[in-house]
Structure 1
Amino acid sequence: MKSIGTHGRGRRWRFGTAAAVAALSIALVGTACSTDVDETTQEVTNVQGEKLNLTADQQRIVPAKDEAIAATVPQAIRDRGTLLIGQGSGAGNPPFTFPATDDDRVWIGDEVDIATLVAGVLGLKPEFKRASWEGLFLGIDSGSSDVGFSNITVTEDRKDIYDFATYRTDVLSVIVPADSTLKFGGYEDLSGKTIAVSSGTNQEKILVGYADRLKAEGKPSITIKNYQDITGTWSALASRQIDGYFGPNPINAFHDAQVRGTPQETKLVGEVSGAGEDLTGLIAATTKKGNPLINPVRAAINKVIQSGEYQKVLQRWNLQNEAVKTSELNPQGLPRTSS
């Protein structure tokens, strides 16, 4: 197995102790009480030592309209003046998409910021469509969303019905309780373990593949658990109902920082590419197959990469190690499921 690397904490975030306790209440209780969280949740810093604003007042970067790129947007969308952006984070998945600490009607995160960059270049107002993970793709299919920005991995199966413009690499990791002896350097390390994964994701596909390989080798397989949302997963991890969670490294690293110094403390024990063993996984803006919008979306991503605005967004959310040098159209993705 070709892994990206194994180390103790993954991407580093820093929280003050008071902030960790307050943020933990969000992770365990859910978003309904987020407007009651103490302002100490704003005392979050990234690896540059910059305080991370988690309030509704985001002051996002909005690039100037690029007339040439904007002219290639389908006429119906130009006439409407808005870009309908699908996001499938359910109750919220920091740092991708999640409710602000002082107003749970306003959602924030790196996926919101990157989509806002693209909309700015296209001269459109971003309009976000929140949904479940499954609902995200239904929205793209039906046309109620123009494009998805929701940590969507390029896969060969998905390329049959969607087009992709990449904007980030896809890194997965395993997160476990801080006192766990579990290591993750290869699929063999998960033998006999109970591991949670989000349903319908490429992470689930990879984990099922691991389980099948272990069965074929006559070894104890993996007991795979699915929870309705990430809140349920963190509750199960804290109560030791599961040995670990296999998911996007940024989500795991953010949670690891939230609970550091609390009884629910965790650690990251290894990473792997979201495209499996032999490819670099890629996250991409996603449109319905054949939608000409994908070309100006890709051009807009490349525009903000060249301007440096893209790098500022990733640095803010501590995702600079997942930056791409250029946006690709429909690159090779996670291999198809064997039939």
Structure 2
Amino acid sequence: MSLRIAASVVILAVLAALSPATAQPAGFDFSSEQSGRPRTGKNEAAIAAIAKDFKFVEPGVFTVAINPGGPPLATYATDAKTVIGADPDIAQLIADSLGLRLNLVPTAWADWPLGLSSGKYDAVISNVGVTEQRKEKFDFSTYRQGLHGFFVRADSPIGSITEPKDTAGLRIIVGAGTNQERILLAWSKANVAAGLKPLELQYFDDEATRFVALASGRADVIVQPHAQLVFIAARDRNIKRVGTLSAGWPERSDVAITTRKGSGLAEALTIAVNGLIATGSYREALARWALLDEALDKSETNPPGLPKF
């Protein structure tokens, strides 16, 4: 075998091991039946809080837009048509709380704002972060912390990243134009001002190449939405978390159920989420997908969000 062929084989093996393609790690249920999905009863206070003039897209049904972008938040089951994940579980619990049947509508991420504004859906439950700009057109009922994760190779000597100085001089993989990049650029600037080394940010076109760079030692850290990396770590068992970062750093910006501005549904949804928190079914839903670290103690309606930049 030539050296060129041998090198190609090694690269392909690493890509196969590290590619974030959907797989089924132990502990995650990808069946279409979802027999372990938590359910709950009606929340009369939440039902009473729905505005009297609010009309659901379909009577008796909670129609929710969701983007099956990947596990553990939302993806397709083994039947390739049933949408499963943490967000569908939350949607089901909300529908139960309102005494409604759930209808999940798979939607491209770019399409949900227009679809919601035009009345195509009652709500969007698809990892939508609260921002001040979005609050101009939509109402929000928070249901998860918006977190980014710092992950390293399982054998990395890096033990913890909690503040800018912990990243001084590190080679960090991040997506171009993302909120994570904005924060890390601010961290790098703060490090330089403090006499420390700047960060070396690295950009790659696809997920597989990012993880090859991390595995090969070309990079020290990868920063992406926390939920994505939690799943990959559980599946591949070759990366580990060393820290988390609020999406709204230095403030916080949580993830929320999104509804039309002034539609009269947001407060009811907030009451419903708080009811789920009180009964424990909320944490049960997040635990199924290894997302307890993103749990909220309390849901809020239209809290401060990520500011305009």
Task: Answer whether TM exceeds 0.5 for this pair.
Answer: yes
TM-score range, shorter chain: 0.7 to 0.9
Structure 2 equivalent of residue 312 of structure 1 = 284
Counterparts in 2 of 1:245 and 1:26: CA distance versus 1, 3 Å: same
Structure 1 equivalent of residue 65 of structure 2 = 86
Structure 2 equivalent of residue 38 of structure 1 = none
Counterpart check, 1:122 vs 2:98: yes
CA contact (8 A) 1:54 1:108 kept: yes
Counterpart check, 1:158 vs 2:134: yes
CA contact (8 A) 2:20 2:232 kept: no
Deviations 1:132-180 (A, max 9, x none): 4333334334433322212222233332232111122233211233344
CA contact (8 A) 1:78 1:124 kept: no
2:269 aligned partner, one-letter code: V
SS of match in other structure, 2:143: strand
Tell which structure's C-alpha radius of gyration is larger.
2
The number of equivalent residue pairs is 289
Structure 2 equivalent of residue 58 of structure 1 = 34
Deviation at 1:63, TM superposition (A): 2.4
Counterparts in 2 of 1:148 and 1:184: CA distance versus 1, 3 Å: same
Question: What runs of 5+ residues in structure 2 fail to find an aligned partner?
Answer: 1-14
Deviations 1:215-257 (A, max 9, x none): 88896554353656x6675566556676543123232122112
Counterparts in 2 of 1:226 and 1:160: CA distance versus 1, 3 Å: farther
Q: What aligned pairs does 1:262-281 form with structure 2 within 5 A after superposition?
A: 265-277=238-250, 279-281=251-253
CA contact (8 A) 1:215 1:221 kept: no
- Work out which of the residue numbers 250, 260, 266 in structure 1 matches 2:227: 250
C-alpha RMSD of the superposition: 3.4
Deviation at 1:276, TM superposition (A): 0.6
Counterparts in 2 of 1:144 and 1:57: CA distance versus 1, 3 Å: same
Counterpart check, 1:206 vs 2:183: yes
Structure 2 equivalent of residue 175 of structure 1 = 151
Q: Aligned partners of 2:57 and 2:107: how far apart in 1?
A: 24
Counterparts in 2 of 1:220 and 1:254: CA distance versus 1, 3 Å: same
Q: What aligned pairs does 1:13-28 form with structure 2 within 5 A after superposition?
A: 28=19
CA contact (8 A) 2:57 2:122 kept: no
Deviations 1:251-294 (A, max 9, x none): 2122112111xxxx2122222222212x3442211123222121
2:164 aligned partner, one-letter code: Y
Q: Aligned partners of 2:246 and 2:137: how far apart in 1?
A: 23
Structure 1 equivalent of residue 164 of structure 2 = 187
Structure 2 equivalent of residue 327 of structure 1 = 299
2:257 aligned partner, one-letter code: A
CA contact (8 A) 2:168 2:198 kept: no
Deviation at 1:299, TM superposition (A): 1.8
TM-score by length of 2: 0.76
Counterparts in 2 of 1:78 and 1:65: CA distance versus 1, 3 Å: farther
Q: Aligned partners of 1:223 and 1:69: how far apart in 2?
A: 46
Deviations 1:276-320 (A, max 9, x none): 12x344221112322212122112112222232223212333333
